[in-house]
Structure 1
Amino acid sequence: MAAAIGIKGHCAQCDMTFELKPWQLNAIAIDVPFDCTYCHSGLQLGCAKQLRQFRALDQWALVRPSMIMLTCATLLVALFAEWLGLLSVIGQLNVSLVAVLIHLLVVRYARHRQTMILKLQVINPLPVEQLARIACARLSEQ
């Protein structure tokens, strides 16, 4: 998940903030609890607002490649317009600088939107009887 760079988790039990690994991000996405790397208690994302923000990260994944394509196309059009005589050299330089500036600002904003700290809540462990029923149900499906 390339959009997930910069996502951290904050454990409510041990009050530690840590970088989430890809398998932990997958567990959050499918709403499965996982263990804290420090206190080993079960954690799960409980806030609906943060879950919506986390799931909305996919829309930012294509910003960087699309901005690269747009900037390259703008630079080529400005170069071609200068070659045809529609723009002066100074005009072509101004268009190129504005395109690169817009590229850098948009990519920085997208990276800022992708950085978040998820507040992970401690869950109570399931009773052994309930875990046994879940395991039996899963084994009978196979």
Structure 2
Amino acid sequence: MTVAIGIKGHCAHCDITFELKPWQLNAIAIEEPFDCPYCQWVLRLNCPRQLRQFKSLDHWALVRPSMVVLTCVVLMVVLVAEWVGLISVIGQFNVSLVVLLVHFLALRYARYRQRITLDLQVVTPALPIEQLARIACARLSQH
């Protein structure tokens, strides 16, 4: 995950929204539960829609370098076209402004898509505490 800014988690147990750390993002990516930093309950992302949205964040990370290259290439082509005489100075200025506008709008949209809040659900243990206590007592009494 190259861009981790703006990804937040919302604990379903303590109802607190917090910024996810890189190790928590890695745990979500491999679908591993982790502890809530506030209530210490074990959390996991269970929603398939949000999991798909989270995994698609890698694609949005490439928008910024791609737009920088595209903007530079278009500005150079327009500059050469104006130098050769294919378009006027006003035409070059207009194309440059439109390209810069598209550049900043694309970056703003990509940043908007990267800011998500994931609803993290509490993971219940496979066995209730009472059963785990009975199993532990039975094993200790065997020794």
TM bucket (normalised to shorter chain) is: 0.7 to 0.9
Instruction: Tell me which structure has the larger Cα radius of gyration.
Output: 2
**1:59 CA drift (Å):** 1.2
Equivalent residues in 2 for 1:105-124, closer than 5 Å: 105-124=105-124
Q: What is the Cα deviation at residue 126 of structure 1?
A: 5.1
TM-score of the pair, normalised by structure 2: 0.86
Q: Which amino acid aligns with 1:12?
A: A
Residue 3 of structure 1, CA deviation: 2.9
- TM normalised by structure 1 equals 0.86
Shift, 1:4, TM fit: 2.8
TM-superposition CA deviations, 1:3-35 (whole Å, max 9, x none) = 332110000011000000010000001011101
- Which position in structure 1 is the counterpart of 2:71? 71
Counterparts of 1:4 and 1:55, CA distance in 2: 12
Q: Match for 1:21: what amino acid? A: K
- In the other structure, the counterpart of 1:23 is 23
- Structure 2: gaps of 5 or more residues: 133-143
CA contact (8 A) 1:82 1:92 kept: yes
Q: Is the 8 A contact 1:4 1:57 kept in 2?
A: no
Q: Does 1:56 align with 2:56?
A: yes
Tell me the alpha carbon deviations over residues 49-94 of structure 1, each in whole angstroms, 9 at most, x when there is no partner: 1111111111111111000000000100111111111111111100
In 1, Cα distance between the equivalents of 2:40 and 2:125?
12
Q: Name 1:137's counterpart in structure 2.
A: none
Whole-angstrom distance in 2 between the partners of 1:40 and 1:126: 18
Alpha-carbon distance in structure 2 between the residues aligned to 1:126 and 1:79: 66
CA distance in 2, matches of 1:38, 1:126: 23
What is the RMSD computed on CA atoms of the aligned residues? 1.4
| Seq. identity, % | 66
- Whether the 8 Å contact between 1:35 and 1:42 is mirrored in structure 2 is yes
1:42 and 1:125 in contact (8 A); partners too: no
